Amino acid sequence: MVDLSVNCAGIKSSNPFWLASAPPSNSAYQNCKAFEKGWGGTVWKTIGEPVMNVFNRYGGLDYNGQKIFGLNNIELISDRPIETNFREIAETKKLWPDRAVVVSLMVESKRETWHEIVKRTIDTGCDGIELNYGCPHGMSERGMGAAVGQVPEYCKMITEWVTEISTIPVLVKLTPNVSNIQLPARAAKAAGADGITLINTINSIIGVNLDPFELKPNVGGKGGHGGYAGPAVKPIALHLLSQVAIDPEVNLPISGIGGVSNWRDALEFILLGASNVQVCTAVMHHGFRIVEDMIDGMTNWMNEKGITSLDQIRGKSLPRIDNFGNFDLLNKTIARIDQQKCIHCNLCYVACEDTAHQCIDLTEENGHSKTEVREKDCVGCALCSLVCPVDNCISMVRIDDGSTSKTWNQLNEEFRKSGKPMTWEELAKFQHKHGIEIH
C-alpha cells in the first residue's frame, strides 16, 4: 500500500502537493475548490500591507508550441482586506481539518507589526506560517520581500521576531535572486525557523514587443522587472534546493517550488531533499484538476518500484552531487545510432559537424541519408542524443570496462607528488595510455 502523506516541518498533509502562495490560493472559494480536487495543502496568498494591483500584470513565454513555458508577473500580495482573509482562512480550516492550511505573511520590518499579524494568524487555527522573503518586485521597493531575503541579517532578525511568539511551525520562503542561497537559509535556521520554502520567483523581464517597443506585461506603456516562474525555472530551483539540502548548517525540512508541473517533477524535488512541493504556474495554466494526475502518477510509480512511503526516497539523489574534480575521467561513453529507428532528419549530423566534434559521417544509402558515428573519434558529449527527435534512437553507451578510474583531483595529486608539472604533453600521455584520443 502506497502512503503519500508527508510531514513538512510539523505540518502534515495527505499528499505532498500544495498550492503555492499565489493567485490560485487567494480566497476560501479557490482553496476549498482545490481541496475538493485532492490537493493536500495550500499556502494562502500572501497577506499584509495594503496594496493595489495594476492591470495587465502577467507576461508569458511560449516555446516550441508550448504556452506559458515561463510566466512573468508583476502582481503584488493579496489586495483583499486583511480581515476578509483571516475570516476565510478560519472558515477553510474548519471545513477541511485534514488539509494543510499555511498562511504567507509579509509586513513592514517592525517587531510590533510582525507580532500583531502573527498572533492574528495563529488565531485562525491554521497549521503554519510562511514568511515571504522572496517577492522580487513591488514589495522589495518598500523594504520587504526580496529586500529581506537578500540580506541574511534581516532574514534572521525578522524570523526571530516571528519565532519568539509563534506557537505553530514557521517556514521561511527564500528568494533565488542571491549569489549564495545557503547564507539566508542558515540565517533562518539560526533564528529558529522550522523549515525552508524555495524558490520564489526569479527577477526577469519577459520580453519586448517589437512593434511599439513596449515591455511585457505593459501597464499604460510602461513595464519593468517581475517574477519569473513556470517549467523553465525548474533546473534553477533544483540546483538551489540541492544547495540548501546538502548544507549541514541548515538541516531543515524544505518545501520545494519552481516549475513543478507533474508528478515526475515532484519526484525530482523529493529525490533532492524536498519534503513536499508547491505548485502555481501549472495550476494557472491547467486548473486545479491537474492534482488528480499527479496523485495517480506518483502512486503508480511508487507501486511499480515497491516504494510505500516518500520517506524512503527523500534525498536519495543528494549523495550523487559532487565536485567536478571528483568525476571519473576514465568513464568513457560514445553515441550509437539505432538505424531501425532513425528517420534521417540529419539533425545529429548538423549538430555534431557544426558545434561539437565532427565525428558523425553522413552518407547515402538506398536513396536516403545515413548517419553513422565514428566511435574512435566520439568524445561522448551527448549533444546528438539531445537533438534527436526520436526517443531512444541515439544511446550513450559506456565502453570502458570500469576496472580503473581516475579523477581530476587524483591526477593533480599524482603530478604534485611526482614533482612533474602538468603540461599538455604529460596530459596527452595519460590520455593515450587510457585510450582517450582527442581530435
Q: What is the pLDDT of residues 30-54, one digit of tens each?
A: 999 999 999 999 999 999 988 888 8
Residue 306 has pLDDT above 70, yes or no: yes
Residue 170 DSSP SS3: strand
CA atoms within 13 A on the CB side of 425: 2
Instruction: Tell me how far apart the alpha carbons of residues 309 and 1 are, in angstroms, rounded to a whole number.
Output: 9
| Annotation marks residue 135 as catalytic | yes
Q: Would 361 be classed as within a structural domain?
A: yes
Catalytic residue among 8, 135, 352, 359: 135
Q: Which residue, 318, 335, 363, sits at the end of a domain? A: 318
Residue keyed to cell 531512444: 392
Same domain, 133 and 242: yes
Same domain, 382 and 303: no
Same domain, 169 and 48: yes
- Percent of the chain with pLDDT strictly greater than 90: 86
Residue 328 DSSP SS3: strand
Q: Which residue, 318, 337, 367, sits at the end of a domain? A: 318
Which pLDDT does position 288 carry in this prediction? 98
Instruction: Specify the length of the chain in residues.
Output: 439
| Summary mean pLDDT of the chain | 95
- Which helix H or strand E contains 198, and what residues bound it? strand 195-198
Residue 141 has pLDDT above 80, yes or no: no
CB under 8 Å to 252, separation ≥6 — which residues?
A: 9, 185, 188, 189, 193, 194, 195, 196
- Which helix H or strand E contains 409, and what residues bound it? helix 408-418
Cβ contact 205:184 at 8 Å: no
Residue 228 has pLDDT above 70, yes or no: yes
- The arithmetic mean of pLDDT across residues 422-436, rounded, is 87
Q: Picking from 23-32, 305-314, 366-375, which range would have the lowest pLDDT averaged per residue?
A: 366-375
Question: What's the pLDDT band for 435 if we cut at 50, 70, 90?
Answer: confident
Q: Which residue, 250, 284, 318, sits at the end of a domain? A: 318
Which pLDDT does position 417 carry in this prediction? 94
Q: Would 334 be classed as within a structural domain?
A: yes
CB under 8 Å to 201, separation ≥6 — which residues?
A: 73, 134, 135, 136, 176, 226, 227, 228, 229, 233
Same domain, 293 and 251: yes
Q: Picking from 61-70, 284-293, 310-319, which range would have the lowest pLDDT averaged per residue?
A: 61-70
Residue 433 has pLDDT above 80, yes or no: yes
Residue keyed to cell 542524443: 385
Cβ contact 258:199 at 8 Å: yes
Based on DSSP, count helices (H) and strands (E) in the chain, helices before strands: 14, 20
Same domain, 307 and 393: no
Same domain, 299 and 383: no
**360 bridge partner residues:** 373
Same domain, 302 and 366: no
Q: Would 33 be classed as within a structural domain?
A: yes
Same domain, 332 and 372: yes
- Count of structural domains, the chain: 2
- Tens of pLDDT, residues 58-102: 999 998 888 999 999 988 899 999 999 999 999 999 999 999 999
Looking at 44-203, list the stretches that DSSP marks H as alpha helix, in order from N- to C-terminal side: 82-95, 111-122, 146-149, 152-163, 182-190
- The arithmetic mean of pLDDT across residues 382-404, rounded, is 95
Residue keyed to cell 534581516: 154
Same domain, 70 and 202: yes
Question: What's the pLDDT band for 438 if we cut at 50, 70, 90?
Answer: low
Question: What's the pLDDT band for 144 if we cut at 50, 70, 90?
Answer: confident
Which pLDDT does position 137 carry in this prediction? 81
Instruction: Tell me how far apart the alpha carbons of residues 127 and 97 are, in angstroms, rounded to a whole number.
Output: 10
Which pLDDT does position 331 carry in this prediction? 94
Q: Would 436 be classed as within a structural domain?
A: no
Q: Would 216 be classed as within a structural domain?
A: yes
Cβ contact 107:96 at 8 Å: no
Q: Would 336 be classed as within a structural domain?
A: yes
Same domain, 23 and 98: yes
The string of DSSP codes covering 40-87 is -EEEEEEEES---PPSS-EEEEEETTEEEEEEEE---S--S-HHHHHH
Q: Would 432 be classed as within a structural domain?
A: no
Residue 232 has pLDDT above 60, yes or no: yes
Instruction: Tell me how far apart the alpha carbons of residues 135 and 143 are, in angstroms, rounded to a whole number.
Output: 11
Cβ burial of 140 (10 Å; 0-12, 13-18, 19+) is buried
Question: What's the pLDDT band for 21 if we cut at 50, 70, 90?
Answer: very high
- The arithmetic mean of pLDDT across residues 391-419, rounded, is 94
Same domain, 303 and 374: no
Instruction: Tell me how far apart the alpha carbons of residues 36 and 410 are, in angstroms, rounded to a whole number.
Output: 56
Q: Would 433 be classed as within a structural domain?
A: no
Residue 233 has pLDDT above 60, yes or no: yes
Rg (CA), the chain: 25
Same domain, 378 and 274: no
CATH number at residue 385: 3.30.70.20
Give the domain range for residue 285.
Answer: 6-318
Residue 421 has pLDDT above 90, yes or no: no
Question: What's the pLDDT band for 439 if we cut at 50, 70, 90?
Answer: low
365: cell is: 544509402
- The arithmetic mean of pLDDT across residues 157-186, rounded, is 98
CB under 8 Å to 11, separation ≥6 — which residues?
A: 41, 100, 102, 127, 128, 169, 171, 195
CA atoms within 13 A on the CB side of 347: 13
Nearest residue to 254 via CA among 234, 232, 239, 269: 269
